Structure 1
Amino acid sequence: MYTITRKEWERILIDHPDYVGKSMLRHEHEGRVCEAGDACCFEYLLPGAPNTGATLVFEHIHFEIV
């Protein structure tokens, strides 16, 4: 699980608007839930994440904005 500050997230939104979005559906993975409207993006945009290309990650499942 990655942790990202609100300021870092806002910077990603500004710098990469085409690669950040909102989850369209509520879904669950390994007991964690991402609600419709929660954030999603490509993993490589998150600070500290490896450059894995187009791996899609979801808020509350793969990362938290604190």
Structure 2
Amino acid sequence: MEEVASFCSRVGLLFDIQGKYMEAEPLYERSQAIQEKVLGLEHPDVASSLNNRVELLRAQVTAN
């Protein structure tokens, strides 16, 4: 499952870089949900996923 989370995060990042925020958001959400379930809430990778989502929201606000 960690591979799926990593894949979702990477594809989300590609969309994010392209400014396709609506496409990136569900992938980041899925990655975070998988990591929380597999690794637990206190794992650093979960924090990284949360940071990706925060940065995405920041980019959306800036773009609008």
Length-normalised TM-score, structure 1: 0.27
Higher relative contact order (CA 8 A, sep 6+): 1
Structure with bigger strand share is 1
